[in-house]
Amino acid sequence: MRRVLPSLLIAGLLVSGGVVSCGTSSDSPAPETSASVPAATAVPTDRVDQVAPADARAITDPADPQATLVLFTDYQCPYCAMMDTLIQQAKNDYGDQVRILVRNYPLPKHQNAETSARAVEAAAEQGALEEMAAVVFEHQQDWKNQEDVEDLFVSYAGDLGLDTEQFRADYNSDALKERVARDLQDSQDSQDLELPGTPSLVLDNEVLMLDSMDYSAIQEQLDAALNN
């Protein structure tokens, strides 16, 4: 059974002291940047299940996790592609101590955010979540403005050695559509958590903003959580 977070930390990607992320507003095509970093605040414990549900996809799942990190991502967001690299580094450095979960936050303003999320989810059904995420991020420019991306995503699945018939079936299944929709609803319902956009991170204990998009900023927070 997954350990429940007693409280949460939310972090947006930051550059030069301001939050840089794909904003949630449909009239904000460019990344949103804030001028200052807000102070850390506590998060209500009644939001725990909404942020880290028991069936969330796990990138790392140690038997006795000492902390839990949750990533809210949009596969069409270029800043999420950058964050994916940092998350992989965190997996390598902390995978035996920190549970790392990933939630879908497909921004409605992104044409293929929902379909790309389903592609990654369909690959996850065959144990290839991270591999498909990496490919989808790598080829973001190829599919983000296409009208019909299903065959392209199926080709990525084939390149990864997945069962493409099963992938296509899962990609179009009501179960995965509902899963992505639930993730999005949880993200949008969590207004009091003040998710800044995508990507957003959630770690134990408090809400704050990182002061850098350098990996060391995440590393510092993970070290602090593990040493508490």
Is the residue at 212 inside a domain? Answer: yes
List strands edge to edge, sheet with 8-12. 8-12, 200-204, 67-73, 98-104, 57-60
Q: What is the DSSP string of 136-173?
A: HHHTHHHHTT-S--HHHHHHHHHHTT--HHHHHHHHT-
Whether residue 11 is predicted with pLDDT greater than 70 in this model: the reply is no
Is the residue at 228 inside a domain? Answer: no
Amino acid letter, residue 24: T
Whether residue 41 is predicted with pLDDT greater than 90 in this model: the reply is no
Alpha-carbon distance of 117 to 121, in angstroms, equals 6
Is the residue at 150 inside a domain? Answer: yes
Is the residue at 194 inside a domain? Answer: yes
Is the residue at 1 inside a domain? Answer: no
Domain that holds residue 204: 8-216
Give the model's confidence band at 156: pLDDT under 50 very low, under 70 low, under 90 confident, else very high: very high
User: What was the pLDDT predicted at 39?
Assistant: 46
Is the residue at 52 inside a domain? Answer: yes
- Stretch 83-99: mean pLDDT: 95
Whether residue 74 is predicted with pLDDT greater than 50 in this model: the reply is yes
User: What was the pLDDT predicted at 32?
Assistant: 47
| CATH assignment of the domain containing 91 | 3.40.30.10
Is the residue at 140 inside a domain? Answer: yes
Beta bridge partners of 57: 102
User: What was the pLDDT predicted at 37?
Assistant: 43
Q: What is the pTM of this model?
A: 0.85
User: What was the pLDDT predicted at 210?
Assistant: 59
Amino acid letter, residue 142: D
Residue 22 or residue 189, greater confidence: 22
| Pairing of β 67-73 and β 98-104 | parallel
Total domains, the chain: 1
Is the residue at 221 inside a domain? Answer: no
